[in-house]
Homo-oligomer: A and B are copies of this chain.
Amino acid sequence: MAKLEYNLDQIDYQILRIMQDNARTNNADIARELGMAPSAILERVKKLEQKDIILQYNAKINPDALDQKMLSFIFIKAQDIIGVQKVGFLLAEIPEVQEVHDIAGDDGYLVKVRTNDAAGLVDLMRNSLGKIEGIISTRTTIVLETVKEEQKLVIPTKK
As for how many copies of this chain the complex holds, the number is: 2
In the complex, chain A residues 35-60 whose Cβ is within 8 Å of any chain B Cβ = 51-60
Q: How many residues of A contact B (CB 8 A)?
A: 63
Indicate with 1 or 0, residue by residue over A64-81, a CB within 8 angstroms of chain B CB atoms: 111010010100000000
Q: Is A121 an interface residue (CB 8 A)?
A: no
Q: How far is the CA of A110 from the CA of B144 in the complex (A)?
A: 11
Interface residues of A, Cβ cutoff 8 Å to B:
6, 8, 16, 19-24, 51-66, 68, 71, 73, 85, 88-89, 91-92, 95-105, 109-110, 114, 141-156
Listed A/B pairs (19) with beta-carbon separation below 8 Å: A19-B61, A20-B59, A20-B61, A52-B62, A53-B61, A54-B60, A63-B153, A66-B154, A91-B148, A98-B148, A99-B146, A99-B149, A101-B144, A101-B147, A101-B149, A103-B144, A104-B141, A104-B143, A114-B154
Asked if A59 and B23 sit within 8 Å, CB to CB, the answer is yes
Q: How far is the CA of A66 from the CA of B101 in the complex (A)?
A: 20
Q: How far is the CA of A48 from the CA of B77 in the complex (A)?
A: 40
Asked if A145 and B85 sit within 8 Å, CB to CB, the answer is yes
Residues of B within 8 A of A23 (CB): 23-24, 57-59
Q: Measured between C-beta atoms, what is the minimum distance from A66 to chain B in Å?
A: 5
